[in-house]
Amino acid sequence: MHLIDSIVVGLGVVVAIAQWSTGETRDQRANFKAPSIIPHPIENPPNVEKIALGQKLFFDTNLSKTSDISCATCHNPKFGFEDGLDFSTGVTQEKLPRHTPTLINLAWSETFFWDGRASNLEEQAIGPLMAKAEMGMTPQTLMERLSRDDVYQHDFNQVFPEEGLSLKTVAMALAAFERTLVSKNAPFDAWVAGDEKAVSASAKRGFALFTGKARCSSCHSGWNFTDDGFHDIGLKSLDEGRFNVLNFPTMHHGFKTPGLRNIKERAPYMHDGSLATLDAVIRHYDDGFQKRDSLSELMQPLGLSANERADLIVFLNSLSSPVAIWPQDQKERIVAQGGE
């Protein structure tokens, strides 16, 4: 976990605000500089055809039992690859137990789903397809349906000449596409690069609060604003989260820290969709959390004013940027890292 700078903790946000233009603050901003290359696993190297196949699968409703739900139904680009609902419904029309998490920047993640039960994107991609309440498929049904499509047969044989169409190659194609869903060129990124006019004075004050008094960067660290860790942040939900995966006492009600890129498009918030606005989220962290034995020690009253909450929101809004859908500007990234 990346802990906030001890000088900022000790002296408060006023010092951080006063140092926007100093070398120290520029160094702090550098901790949030976005990478230029998308990481891909050696066992699933990218190429143009594979990513295009994954995109086709992602938007195809035939991947659901009822042929009316696709991956994009819940992971809608317009909502930051979420869906704008507290809880989605799958093929059974029953509400799912958790809010849909974003797919943005998952190429850099270490674990997947709110409880971290998947260890790679390939595993994550197949999970919803096979979940009875989500897309409701079985491996046999999925293979039979895709096998009847001559175009899919051709594409899988071309992209995976040694394996062809299989559950494994479906997962590989979907994961390869999902790794290209990367946020880029937000106003915040321009400011990090040195353009002082890219964000407002309010956003700069919000960044100082984020890394200082509000202590947000204790968990929302780095360019994608996540430590990839699991924390009980005191929501009223009875969901045990990570504890159901790892039976550790400290993991009761523990949920993965979400990245904050494009956060303004992703309401409502939290694993249970219980907080409708960013102001509600900040108020929760300020002093609205439920106190219990498993509560993260990082959860402490913050004493934020209305103006400080407003500045934090302006800063968070500066993290939004277009997320390109393949192949608009992705090919050069793939080539740069050895893909074709």
Q: What is the pLDDT of residue 144?
A: 97
Amino acid at 294: S
Please, is 40 exposed, middle or buried when counting C-beta atoms within 10 Å of its C-beta (0-12, 13-18, 19+)? buried
Q: What is the pLDDT of residue 6?
A: 25
| Residue 39 falls inside a structural domain | no
Q: What is the pLDDT of residue 5?
A: 26
Q: What is the pLDDT of residue 43?
A: 96
Q: Is the domain of 116 the same as that of 189?
A: no
Count of residues in the chain: 340
| Residue 40 falls inside a structural domain | no
Q: Is the domain of 94 the same as that of 58?
A: yes
Q: What is the pLDDT of residue 16?
A: 36
User: Cβ–Cβ contacts within 10 Å for residue 183, how many?
Assistant: 24
Query: Could you give the C-alpha distances from 28 to 3, 58, 297, 303, in angstroms and in order?
Result: 12, 37, 24, 24
Q: Is the domain of 112 the same as that of 157?
A: yes
Q: Is the domain of 174 the same as that of 216?
A: no
Q: Is the domain of 125 the same as that of 19?
A: no
Q: Could you list the pLDDT tens digit for every one of the 340 residues in the chain? A: 332 222 222 323 333 333 334 444 556 788 999 998 899 999 999 999 999 999 999 999 999 999 999 999 999 999 999 999 999 999 999 999 999 999 999 999 999 999 999 999 999 999 999 999 999 999 999 999 999 999 999 999 999 999 999 999 999 999 999 999 999 889 999 999 999 999 999 999 999 999 999 999 999 999 999 999 999 999 999 999 999 999 998 899 999 999 999 999 999 999 999 999 999 999 999 999 999 999 999 999 999 999 999 999 999 999 999 886 755 455 445 444 444 4
Q: What is the pLDDT of residue 36?
A: 86
- Say how many domains are in the chain: 2
* Residues 182, 107 contacting (CB under 8 angstroms): yes
Q: CATH code at 141?
A: 1.10.760.10
| Residue 11 falls inside a structural domain | yes
| Residue 218 falls inside a structural domain | yes
Closest CA to 337 of 33, 35, 38: 38
Distance CA 222, CA 32 (A): 5
| Residue 305 falls inside a structural domain | yes
- Vertex 282, ends 278 and 287: CA angle to 5°? 150
Range of the domain at 117: 48-182+325-336
Q: Is the domain of 155 the same as that of 210?
A: no
Distance CA 36, CA 333 (A): 8
Backbone angles phi, psi at 35, to 5 degrees: -70, 160
Q: Is the domain of 27 the same as that of 127?
A: no
Q: What is the pLDDT of residue 290?
A: 94
- Vertex 118, ends 113 and 119: CA angle to 5°? 125
Q: Is the domain of 164 the same as that of 199?
A: no
* Residues 198, 59 contacting (CB under 8 angstroms): no
DSSP H stretches of helix in the chain: 6-11, 13-18, 23-30, 48-58, 71-74, 121-130, 139-147, 150-159, 167-178, 187-192, 201-210, 278-287, 306-317, 331-336
| Residue 41 falls inside a structural domain | no
What would the DSSP string read from start to end of 227-286?
Answer: ---EE----S----BGGGTS--GGGTTBEEPPP-TTGGGS-SBSTT--B-SHHHHHHHHH
Please, is 323 exposed, middle or buried when counting C-beta atoms within 10 Å of its C-beta (0-12, 13-18, 19+)? buried
Q: What is the pLDDT of residue 28?
A: 77
Q: Is the domain of 54 the same as that of 27?
A: no
Catalytic residue among 82, 134, 178, 265: 134
Q: Is the domain of 92 the same as that of 156?
A: yes
Annotated active-site residue 134? The verdict is yes
Q: What is the pLDDT of residue 25?
A: 54
Q: What is the pLDDT of residue 323?
A: 82
| Residue 36 falls inside a structural domain | no
Q: What is the pLDDT of residue 20?
A: 37
Q: What is the pLDDT of residue 324?
A: 67
| Residue 284 falls inside a structural domain | yes
Q: Which residues pair with 95 in a beta bridge?
A: 89
Q: What is the pLDDT of residues 145-180, one digit of tens each?
A: 999 999 999 999 999 999 999 999 999 999 999 999
Paired tokens of 159: 């992209």
Q: What is the pLDDT of residue 30?
A: 87
Q: What is the pLDDT of residue 336?
A: 43
- Rounded to two decimals, what is the model's pTM? 0.88
Q: Is the domain of 92 the same as that of 203?
A: no
Q: Is the domain of 195 the same as that of 307?
A: yes
